[in-house]
Amino acid sequence: MTSWLQEATTAGTQASILTWNSALGALAALVGSSIGAYVAHRLYLRREQREREGQRAAETVVVLRVLHHEIYRNQLALDRFAEDPHQLRAARLPPEANLWDESKWKVAQLIGGDLYGDLVVYYFRIKGLSRILEEPQPPQESERYTADIEHLKRHVEETRQQGEQLLRIIRPRIITGEPTEPAVPSSEQTNPPT
């Protein structure tokens, strides 16, 4: 009888070992498949994030290219004025801010930071200059005309300088899409004209 009991105990032990091994195998398969699913999900998220970043970089380049064009055109008008202060007012060719007005919210989303702040100040100056140029012109012989032209010269020169700095910053970003330093450090920014 002992041999029967011994055989039954041995068979039970072997069955429990097989059951235990099956359970461990199932657990290992479950853990392995969970890890595989997690890794696949993380890789998918990383690829999706890279695609979004690439799309955002492309959008940034397009917006900067459009603003670069407008700033460049404004610089040409301001250069003409610097050569002959009477020319810009006589021609009634104020610098433009149309593209900025249409895209400033998108620019804020894509760029942000110091460059966006510098663009806001620049376009504030451009709009101020446009308002000045739209005012009725006093007679050329008057003292007010001379003071007006001197004020306009200072305003144009400050705006030209800031426009040149912005162009120097935006050009490389259009080419590389990489971040750059602010056009004018915050401590050196002059107050916009009123």
Residue 138 lies in a domain: yes
pLDDT of residue 2: 62
Residue 4 lies in a domain: no
- In this predicted structure, the answer to whether residue 24 has a pLDDT above a threshold of 50 is yes
The rounded percent of the chain whose pLDDT value lies above 70 is: 67
- Single pTM value for the model: 0.62
pLDDT, one tens digit per residue, over 125-141 is: 888 887 777 776 666 66
By C-alpha distance, which of 173, 40, 82 is closest to 119? Answer: 173
Stretch 145-165: mean pLDDT: 81
State how far the Cα of 146 lies from the Cα of 99, in Å rounded to an integer: 32
Given phi > 0 = left and psi -120 to 50 = alpha, else beta, which region is 87?
alpha
pLDDT of residue 189: 42
Lowest mean pLDDT among 1-15, 28-42, 49-63: 1-15
Higher-pLDDT residue of 93, 28: 28
Residue 15 lies in a domain: no
What's the domain count of the chain? 1
Stretch 119-129: mean pLDDT: 86
Long-range contact set of residues 80-84: C-beta below 8 Å, sequence gap at least 24? 81/152, 81/156, 82/153, 82/156, 82/157, 82/160
Stretch 26-31: mean pLDDT: 76
Sign of dihedral through CA atoms 105, 78, 88, 128? positive
H or E stretch including 192? none
pLDDT-derived band at 180 (thresholds 50, 70, 90) equals very low
Stretch 13-38: mean pLDDT: 73
Q: Which two tokens mark 91? A: 């021609």
pLDDT, mean over the chain: 75
pLDDT of residue 111: 81
pLDDT of residue 9: 63
Higher-pLDDT residue of 9, 98: 98
pLDDT of residue 104: 81
Stretch 144-150: mean pLDDT: 70
Residue 33 lies in a domain: no
Residue 32 lies in a domain: no
pLDDT, one tens digit per residue, over 60-85 is: 888 888 888 888 888 888 887 777 76
Distances (CA, A) of 63 to 50, 125, 170: 20, 20, 10
Residue 23 lies in a domain: no
Cα-trace Rg, the chain: 35
Residue 16 lies in a domain: no
- SS3 for 30? helix
Range of the domain at 157: 55-188
pLDDT of residue 152: 78
> Is residue 190 within 8 Å of 158, Cβ to Cβ?
yes
88, burial (CB in 10 Å: exposed 0-12, middle 13-18, buried 19+): buried
Residue 96 lies in a domain: yes
